[in-house]
Amino acid sequence: MAAKIETRLHVDAHIEAGTTLGLDHAGAHFLRSVLRLKPGAMLAVFNAQDGEWLARIDGIGKGWCSLEVTELRRLPEPEPDLWLVFAPIKRARLDFVAEKAVELGCSLLQPVFTGYTDVSRVNSERLAANAREAAEQCERLSLPLVRDVISFEKLLADWPTERRLLLCAESGGVKPIGEVLQDIRAGDPQAGREPWAIMTGPEGGFTKGELDALTKLPFVTPVGLGPRILRADTAAVSALACWQAVLGDWEKRPPDRSDA
């Protein structure tokens, strides 16, 4: 493919060669008014089910765009099933966490109100928009699910017990995350293919009651992130990176984009 790939867009519709895709208003506006693309321009469209495909702009106007799918660019592939469960924090840092969580391969973002959470609402649409943009930029094939914020009690009540949870705990005598992850991998080299979650608290940390409730659950493993007090966003990004490095898919390399 010599043609320049102008951008990369996630589409919900089924993608296959020869089909024509109609973009929604936002997508069409982005291509026409932001990137100023014309018919004939090439882009990549993707989703988790169909992988990534080359597509040519067939027609484009105010609020509409039709794409002709030409050829497969990248096959769908399994991705880690790693949730991030986090106490919401201030907006700029929350935007940051959403972006980084997507780049670090999170499959689902679940905000949860904990005792020391000092944010009263979470804009799920904003979170989802940040997640989508990050996925389009980082070469992911999937979009993470973004759940509405729930209470700590509901989180525990509804937890799928087969999903293991790494709890980032600032206090208490817990093992360091590196040692915990290495031990898990040593015990089962395929452990990263199971469902996992990482949970981080608000800036104030978890309440003693929350820590007690969490640490007695069989699927919870508390981990330490060292001697410095990490901000909530730093803890989330750090734990996700460590998980990917030890249990995740970081043995893979980015797709070759010498065609782009």
- Site track for its own copies across 91-130, x = CB under 8 A: -----x--xx--xxx-------------------------
Span interacting with its own copies, options 10-18, 27-35, 124-132, 218-226, rule CB under 8 A: 218-226
DSSP conformation letters of 66-133: EEEEEEEEE-------EEEEE----HHHHHHHHHHHHHTT-SEEEEEE-TT-------HHHHHHHHHH
Is residue 186 within the footprint of its own copies (CB under 8 A)?
Answer: no
Is residue 241 within the footprint of its own copies (CB under 8 A)?
Answer: yes
Is residue 246 within the footprint of its own copies (CB under 8 A)?
Answer: yes
Q: With CB under 8 A as the rule, give the number of residues binding its own copies.
A: 46
CA distance 192 to 96: 25
Is residue 211 within the footprint of its own copies (CB under 8 A)?
Answer: no
Contact 118, 88 (CB under 8 A): no
Closest separation between CB of residue 75 and its own copies, Å? 13
Return the structure tokens found at 184.
Answer: 């898990």
- For its own copies, the binding residues (CB under 8 A) are 96, 99-100, 103-105, 137-140, 170-171, 173-174, 176-179, 181-182, 224-231, 234, 237-242, 244-246, 248-255
